[in-house]
Amino acid sequence: MRFFREMTGGLAIRRFRGKKPLWKKIGIAGFTLLELFIVVEIIGFLATIVMSNFYRSKKAAQVAVTLQNVKNIQIAITSYYVMEGTYPNTLNTIWLQFYGGKVVDNLAYIGGATAGNQGGWEFFASNSPEIRFSGPTAMEYAIKSTDELLPYALYIYGDAATSAKIVH
């Protein structure tokens, strides 16, 4: 019988009796529910921080793009004025001439022959309510962004006398 046990490995079985099971000895174990909840909360917290920073940087980039677009349009309007002697009636006039047919849809514009009839077009040109822009005369123009630029800006505007400005 002793010989049989040695040949079949019976002694090896007897050797591990009374000790920890094999799966505990190898280290196979799972996470507790509390540990999983903590990891999920940490990942959620980090994702919230990343997404809020992404949203803020996206809005800041949109403000920068809109500001640069207003400056580019002011250059095109000035070029048009030098060539034609008057400001264009719509932005699409200069957009077709200078920018290959693209249409401007996120900027409000008053200028050219219709500028003198737009005196009711008012918006604040600064944080102070005393400073109001009430529309250009026939020899001026005004541009105002119509995009939602909060929290970085209320809007961006520019006119014949002023470079593009951000109104906070």
Given this model, what pLDDT does residue 107 score?
Answer: 84
Distance CA(139)–CA(151), nearest Å, equals 34
Expressed in percent and rounded to 5, the helix, strand and coil fractions of the chain are 50, 15, 35
Given this model, what pLDDT does residue 129 score?
Answer: 43
Does residue 22 contact residue 28 with C-beta atoms inside 8 Å?
Answer: no
| H/E element, 123 | strand 123-124
From 95, 90, 55, 56, select the one nearest 75 (Cα to Cα). 95
Q: What are the pLDDT tens digits along the chain (168 aa)?
A: 555 455 555 544 445 555 666 656 665 667 888 999 999 999 999 999 999 889 889 989 999 999 998 898 888 888 888 888 888 888 877 777 766 666 677 888 888 777 766 655 565 545 544 445 556 776 788 888 888 888 888 888 888 877 888 877
Domain ranges of the chain: 33-167
Give the chain's length.
168
3-state secondary structure of 39: helix
